[in-house]
A and B are shown apart, each in its own frame.
Chain A
Amino acid sequence: MMDFQRRALDQETRKAKNVAVTLRRFAGYFRPYWLNLVGVVVFTLVVVYCNILYPALIGQAADCYLISTPTTQMGGSGVATTSCWYTDIAQLTSNESKISGLLGLALLIAGTFVVSALFTGFSFYTMRLAGQGVLRDMRGHVFNHMHNLSIGYYSRNEAGEIMSRVTNDMDTLQQMFNFALLNVFQGLMIIFWIAVAMLRENLVYGLLSLAIAPVMLFTTRYFSNQARKAFRIARQEIGNVNADLQESIAGAREVQAFNREEESIAQFQKANEANRAANVRAAVFTSALNPVLEALSYVALGTVVVVGGFSALNNQPLLAGTSVISVGTIFAFLAYIQRINQPISQIAVLWTNVQSGIAGGERIFILMDEDIEIHDRDNAKPMPQIIGKVEFKDVEAEYVKGEKVLKGINFGVNTGEMVAIVGPTGAGKTTIINMIPRFYDVTDGQVLIDGLDVRDVTQDSLRKQIGMVLQDTFLFSDSVMENIRYGRLDASDDEVIAAAKMVAAHDFIERLPDGYMTVLGERGSGLSQGQRQLIAIARVALMNPNILILDEATSSVDTRTERVIQAAFEKLLQGRTSFVIAHRLSTIRNANLVLMVADGQIIERGTHQELLAKGGAYYDLYMSQFKAEEDVA
């Protein structure tokens, strides 16, 4: 419990903005599991009933069998003071009859324990059955929606942020559905029922005994809030500790190279110390919470004893017109009051968990509601077999409203031709190639393939016919075989191997520990950059598309591999319409059309020779790249 409390308090609590709407949507997810929820309520009521019955039965044991001895035998007024309803006291004439009656009562109590345990199990299981089902469904929906979101969404939002929706926020929901919701519900029922039982038995006595409950609730809230504030600071500090760690592990070579160990350690210790201080401060409140609650519960206990005891001693009701408090009632109240503490503190802590759950749910729903920017049009038809003619007509594009990243792009390519796009970083090269498979939509103008506007055909049919090799090669943690097969799922092993051979990847794959069956680590770790690229190229070769888009990698790969990649590219380009973001002169020289892009516009166009002859921006670019070599030569 202690640990759970701490964890619950350590969680960031964001309040949901629109609780009603979020709850309604939760309700929608729970609809298929409505029968479970009915079960949960019924089972919980049984459990709570058993919980209530127990102190009452213990009270009866005292009233009927244990302390009734002297008075009942007297007859007379003694009977009036007992509140035994479990059995007819007058019948209990011998010790034997009392003992057998007591055995019956003990068995009944044991029976309530059995029923309570079983139904607690049932209620948790049915709740989790529903909760896990809802979580599974929600995860599926989120994942599905993630694919509908445009590339633009992914460039605007950090991957970590998106991941955290599906992991952290789902986790808070998990806790809420698994544990918190049911415990809060059960706790509320117990408190309610106990309160009703106490008030019904004796209104005034009940009210006096319960007077401490609101105080406990407020105390818990106060300490929880204080602890939460302290934890928030601790979380920031541990963030600094982690950042320091991350930096100095990743940069350990530099730290050592520049003899910075001492400074680095001193800096770390400072962050580490700040984290400790914040945590110790939070410990003041977390440590105080339970002792204070416990002390308050003794106050409640004392109230029950003093108030009830005096009433019983004086044989006087607390208020004129109410009944006198019996010793049995006092015992029952003692048991009640001891039972009410736990649910109160539990609710106080878990309530924040429910709040975070709702807020987490809201964030997930926001992601699900994220606008799908690129839809298939209603009358979109499948793209016919692409021949390879591509045309950009006055294409404009913007990521943020009013900020154009492409301005009036116009060019056309014939089947089998190659376009090289050059220009500085941020000029719009990537945006241009992203328009072809419709990763982004134009804000004005048209992108036409074989005369068809890409927006008039279905995205799937379009993209299936366009091959892309992106700069940041992405491989899945699966075998090499499956990574290549990603290009065409129905390809046979032989076809995969043929594709690898075509791009000269076969040799190095064969040399891997398990050949084509070698399972790659996260993002293809274990392979060199160049090898990863070759696999990505093989993937596209397998796909055999008529339009090809290449983003030449600029990062340094072993020059020999580089040549292999270059050769693979050239092979791949043959006979296909291709668009290349070029970083290598050889590529540029082979292109049918070179587009020099700057600031979202095509500033020069032509072949390499033509552009050189022109002596403009391209000429400058060319000269600056190779000037050093010219000086040497």
Chain B
Amino acid sequence: MQAVSSASPKMKGREKRAKGEQGYLRRAIGYLGRYKTMTFIAYGALIIATLSQLIVPQLVQAMIDSITQGAVAQQVLSIPSEQGRMFALTQLNTTQDALQNTYNSAPSWILGAVALILLVAVIRGLFAFIQSYAAEWTAQGIAYSMRNDIFIRIQRLSFSYYDRNQTGQLMIRATDDVERVRLFIAQGLLLTFQAFLLLVVTLTILFLTNWRLTLSILPILPFSIILFGIFGKISQPLFRDVQIRLSKLNTVLQENVAGIRVVKAFVRQNHEQKRFDESNQDLYIHWLKIARAFSFLFPMIFFVGQIGQAVILYFSGTQIIDGSLAIGEYQKFNLYLAYVFFPLGQLGLIVSLMAQASASAERIFEIIDTKSEITDKPNAIDLPSIEGNVEFRDVTFRYFSSTAPVLNKVSFTIKTGQTIALLGATGSGKTTIINLIPRFYDASEGAVLIDGHDVRDVKLDSLRSQIGIVLQETNLFSGTIRDNIVFGRPDATDEEVIAAAKASAAHDFILDFPNGYETSVGERGATLSGGQKQRLAIARALLLNPKLLILDDSTSAVDFTTERKIQAALDNLMQGRTSFVIAQRISTARNADVIIVLDKGAMVAMGTHAELIENSPIYAEIFASQLVDDSQPVAEAQ
């Protein structure tokens, strides 16, 4: 411990990081604990399959020996001259009867050896299958569990997490990264185990068979390991380089497909073609680098394994010729030799699988380990039925990383049934205020109270189920239109759904779809326009029949008529409820019971339209500037 702490901080950081990555991979492997039986089967089968593979050389030797002995016996026995035959017998140190015996039993020896090898083949095949299948089964199981864990975590993360992370990034972790870990568990881990087993057992066998021959090939081992090290070092950055070039090329491509109008409008084909050709050539050059490295590195690795065979041929040949080695034993040795080089050949694959899996595991656990900042307190109570009184008490909010508050000491009290319009420029804190009420964020200082209850003291479910929310951007989920409307209240009856849809001016356009309320929407269904989505969102909120309503009324691209319909739907929605509205329209501001004017996170004015237009210069300015386009035609009509 002392030694570690005295190391330079940079060193320590690196150590910690390396150790951390290993730790993540170990944790990923720990998921195997959830599938103990299958894991046990996979590794048990692997041991049996590997060991039975190691019996094969013995059996091949038996076959070869029985053939050779039989053939020699046959040849000697068929020597026509008695003298020659006797000479051969003394040479072989055997008698004619023994030789005749060998010859007679040779066919049954051969058949027996073949039968045995076929039996082993079947056993090995069976266990190899079991091993491979069980490994894939557990790996798929781990991928399944990890994806579930990620998904569950994602569902419960606070809004600020989503502010910081992009959808695409999160997607990649749940797909690509999980896939890499799966690949390692299904193959890399098993290969490592198998390689180790093969290497140890084979080298032992080789040593026991003929230690002198074994020593002659041992120098190749460290040599090939060094070669793999070099190979890994060279290849990894090459692939990363190609990846970078490829994504650059794809960016140009993507931009030209998505921005084709701009390219055409500005007549920039030649310019773009030049950009593309440059990236294309760059990619080509980097691919050639890989081609150069890989075209020769792979054969080289192969060569190292092969050269061992030539070495063994010479050394064992010498022993055979001077009679200290049977030819079958040489064959056997040669076969075992292949088992020494086979795991070495896998080393490169194992190392690259492991490196990728470690990095991926780290990214996966980063999500799984993220603490949701918003959780129920241990003694949280159910929020009683909301009446609609809302109080902000000196609320300050800052994102955890930034010190500048987004909201600074905001205090106000709202009574049941009031409509509150929030006004201010982008970044003034309007959205933060509405996000604090259903506790999507927690206040950094101060408190948000609903009917006197601090929102942090009640259960999230009981709080949010009583608040209706229409967000600025509406996401639809896969399923039917009806599914999307009953999103917050799956038990709603058809009558209630239709009533909600009618009140939000959505009923008519829904019926225009061939399947009406049963029309599929979302990622895998029909596309709805921005205005249609918004009206569904209103229907969704309306169906909850909440006492407290939160609206972001900025309408997206819709035509005039639709906009009017949405406005009417919103007016319907707000009646008789405490409503917080981010106001974009003059009518919203004018109709509000209370207008809260925000500027750079601070509440600068509060009151009715009539009061504020008299007393608040900022309100007057916002009124004049932000809503000016809307107010002109009114003046004109008058």
- Chains A and B belong together in one complex: yes
Q: How far is the CA of A139 from the CA of B287 in the complex (A)?
A: 14
A contact residues around B263 at 8 Å (CB): 147
A contact residues around B634 at 8 Å (CB): 626, 629-630, 632-633
Q: A305, B67: Cβ atoms under 8 Å?
A: yes
Task: Say yes or no for B79: interface residue by CB 8 A criterion.
Answer: yes
A contact residues around B400 at 8 Å (CB): none
For A258, give its contact among B136, B171, B540 (CB under 8 Å). Answer: B540
Q: A258, B140: Cβ atoms under 8 Å?
A: no
Q: A585, B114: Cβ atoms under 8 Å?
A: no
Q: A154, B257: Cβ atoms under 8 Å?
A: yes
Q: B152, A121: Cβ atoms under 8 Å?
A: no
Q: How would residues 538 to 573 of chain B score, 1 for a CB under 8 Å from any chain A CB and 0 otherwise? A: 001000100000000011111111011001100000
Task: Say yes or no for B355: interface residue by CB 8 A criterion.
Answer: no
Q: How far is the CA of A76 from the CA of B87 in the complex (A)?
A: 13
Q: How far is the CA of A465 from the CA of B623 in the complex (A)?
A: 40
B contact residues around A603 at 8 Å (CB): none
For A280, give its contact among B117, B136, B276 (CB under 8 Å). Answer: B136
Q: B299, A118: Cβ atoms under 8 Å?
A: yes
Task: Say yes or no for B478: interface residue by CB 8 A criterion.
Answer: yes
Task: Say yes or no for B303: interface residue by CB 8 A criterion.
Answer: yes
Nearest-Cβ distance from residue B354 to partner chain A, whole angstroms = 13
A contact residues around B256 at 8 Å (CB): 143, 146-147
Q: A129, B327: Cβ atoms under 8 Å?
A: no
Given the interface contacts A76-B84, A563-B625, does A254 sit within 8 Å of B475 by beta carbon?
Answer: yes
For B75, give its contact among A71, A109, A238, A306 (CB under 8 Å). Answer: A71
Q: B129, A113: Cβ atoms under 8 Å?
A: no
B contact residues around A242 at 8 Å (CB): 171, 175
Stretch at the interface among A282-290, A348-356, A502-510: A282-290
B contact residues around A15 at 8 Å (CB): none
Closest to A242 in B: B175
Nearest-Cβ distance from residue B588 to partner chain A, whole angstroms = 10
A contact residues around B522 at 8 Å (CB): 247
Q: How would residues 250 to 271 of chain A score, 1 for a CB under 8 Å from any chain B CB and 0 otherwise? A: 1111111111110111001100
For B265, give its contact among A330, A437, A561 (CB under 8 Å). Answer: A437
Given the interface contacts A99-B317, A125-B295, A463-B265, does A327 sit within 8 Å of B67 by beta carbon?
Answer: yes
Nearest-Cβ distance from residue A95 to partner chain B, whole angstroms = 5
Stretch at the interface among B105-113, B494-502, B509-517: B105-113
Q: Is the interface of B mostly helix, strand, loop or mixed?
A: helix
Task: Say yes or no for A470: interface residue by CB 8 A criterion.
Answer: yes
A contact residues around B272 at 8 Å (CB): 147
Q: A110, B310: Cβ atoms under 8 Å?
A: yes
Q: B273, A70: Cβ atoms under 8 Å?
A: no
Q: A250, B257: Cβ atoms under 8 Å?
A: no
B contact residues around A424 at 8 Å (CB): 559, 561
Nearest-Cβ distance from residue B87 to partner chain A, whole angstroms = 7
Closest to B486 in A: A258
B contact residues around A523 at 8 Å (CB): 255, 258
Task: Say yes or no for B411: interface residue by CB 8 A criterion.
Answer: no
Given the interface contacts A81-B75, A294-B125, does A313 sit within 8 Å of B586 by beta carbon?
Answer: no
Assign chain B's interface to a size class: 35 or more
Q: How far is the CA of A146 from the CA of B257 in the complex (A)?
A: 8
Q: A522, B310: Cβ atoms under 8 Å?
A: no
Interface size on A, residues (CB 8 A): 166
Task: Say yes or no for A33: interface residue by CB 8 A criterion.
Answer: no
Task: Say yes or no for A29: interface residue by CB 8 A criterion.
Answer: no
B contact residues around A78 at 8 Å (CB): 75, 79
B contact residues around A261 at 8 Å (CB): 155-156
Q: How far is the CA of A124 from the CA of B70 in the complex (A)?
A: 46
For B79, give its contact among A76, A95, A268 (CB under 8 Å). Answer: A76
Nearest-Cβ distance from residue A217 to partner chain B, whole angstroms = 18
Closest to A153 in B: B260
A contact residues around B322 at 8 Å (CB): 95
A contact residues around B629 at 8 Å (CB): 559, 562, 584-586
Q: A74, B318: Cβ atoms under 8 Å?
A: no
Q: B265, A265: Cβ atoms under 8 Å?
A: no
B contact residues around A114 at 8 Å (CB): 303
Task: Say yes or no for B43: interface residue by CB 8 A criterion.
Answer: no
Q: Quick one: which of B445-477 are within 8 Å of A by CB?
A: 460-461, 464-465, 467, 469, 471-472, 474-477
Closest to A558 in B: B426
Q: How would residues 396 to 436 of chain A score, 1 for a CB under 8 Å from any chain B CB and 0 otherwise? A: 00000000000000000000000000001100000000000
Q: B125, A632: Cβ atoms under 8 Å?
A: no
Q: How far is the CA of A558 from the CA of B582 in the complex (A)?
A: 12
Closest to B311 in A: A106
Given the interface contacts A147-B263, A309-B66, A468-B265, does A103 sit within 8 Å of B253 by beta carbon?
Answer: no
Q: How would residues 62 to 90 of chain B score, 1 for a CB under 8 Å from any chain A CB and 0 otherwise? A: 01101110111011101111001001100
Task: Say yes or no for A466: interface residue by CB 8 A criterion.
Answer: yes
For A313, give its contact among B70, B306, B560, B626 (CB under 8 Å). Answer: B70
Q: A128, B288: Cβ atoms under 8 Å?
A: yes
Closest to A325 in B: B71
Q: How far is the CA of A179 from the CA of B503 in the complex (A)?
A: 63
Given the interface contacts A163-B257, A251-B477, does A74 sit within 8 Å of B84 by beta carbon?
Answer: yes
A contact residues around B133 at 8 Å (CB): 283-284, 287-288
Given the interface contacts A70-B75, A555-B557, A629-B634, does A489 sit within 8 Å of B465 by beta carbon?
Answer: no
B contact residues around A23 at 8 Å (CB): none
Task: Say yes or no for A53: interface residue by CB 8 A criterion.
Answer: no
Closest to B63 in A: A305
Closest to A631 in B: B587
Task: Say yes or no for B389: interface residue by CB 8 A criterion.
Answer: no
Q: How far is the CA of A633 from the CA of B255 in the complex (A)?
A: 47
Nearest-Cβ distance from residue A625 to partner chain B, whole angstroms = 4
Q: How far is the CA of A268 from the CA of B477 in the complex (A)?
A: 12
Task: Say yes or no for A541: interface residue by CB 8 A criterion.
Answer: no
Task: Say yes or no for A590: interface residue by CB 8 A criterion.
Answer: no
Nearest-Cβ distance from residue B405 to partner chain A, whole angstroms = 20
Chain A CB within 10 A, most for which of B88, B265, B288, B314 = B265
Q: Quick one: which of B36-76 are within 8 Å of A by CB?
A: 60, 63-64, 66-68, 70-72, 74-76
Q: Quick one: which of A564-588 are within 8 Å of B by CB?
A: 584-586
A contact residues around B327 at 8 Å (CB): 62, 66-67
Given the interface contacts A246-B167, A439-B261, does A99 sit within 8 Å of B464 by beta carbon?
Answer: no
Q: A633, B561: Cβ atoms under 8 Å?
A: no
Stretch at the interface among B4-12, B16-24, B142-150, B201-209: B142-150
Q: B299, A117: Cβ atoms under 8 Å?
A: yes
Stretch at the interface among A197-205, A296-304, A357-365, A384-392: A296-304
Q: How would residues 324 to 352 of chain A score, 1 for a CB under 8 Å from any chain B CB and 0 otherwise? A: 00010011001000000000000000000
A contact residues around B144 at 8 Å (CB): 272-273, 275-276
Q: How far is the CA of A122 from the CA of B299 in the complex (A)?
A: 10
Q: A272, B148: Cβ atoms under 8 Å?
A: yes
Task: Say yes or no for B429: interface residue by CB 8 A criterion.
Answer: no
Given the interface contacts A147-B272, A265-B151, does A113 sit within 8 Å of B303 by beta carbon?
Answer: yes
Chain A CB within 10 A, most for which of B300, B302, B320 = B320
Task: Say yes or no for A308: interface residue by CB 8 A criterion.
Answer: yes
Q: A249, B171: Cβ atoms under 8 Å?
A: yes
Task: Say yes or no for A241: interface residue by CB 8 A criterion.
Answer: yes
Closest to A489 in B: B271
Nearest-Cβ distance from residue A623 to partner chain B, whole angstroms = 9
Given the interface contacts A143-B273, A249-B167, A560-B626, does A70 sit within 8 Å of B88 by beta carbon?
Answer: yes
A contact residues around B71 at 8 Å (CB): 312-313, 327
Task: Say yes or no for B384: interface residue by CB 8 A criterion.
Answer: no
A-B contact pairs, 19 of them (CB 8 A): A114-B303, A121-B295, A121-B299, A143-B280, A154-B257, A162-B257, A243-B523, A247-B475, A254-B471, A257-B464, A259-B461, A288-B129, A310-B110, A313-B110, A334-B64, A468-B262, A477-B255, A585-B633, A629-B586
Report the 8 A-B pairs with minimum CB-CB distance, sorted nearest first: A251-B475, A298-B121, A287-B132, A128-B291, A559-B626, A283-B136, A258-B488, A124-B295
Known: A136-B280, A298-B118. 6 other contacts (CB 8 A): A117-B299, A136-B284, A151-B260, A265-B148, A265-B152, A556-B555
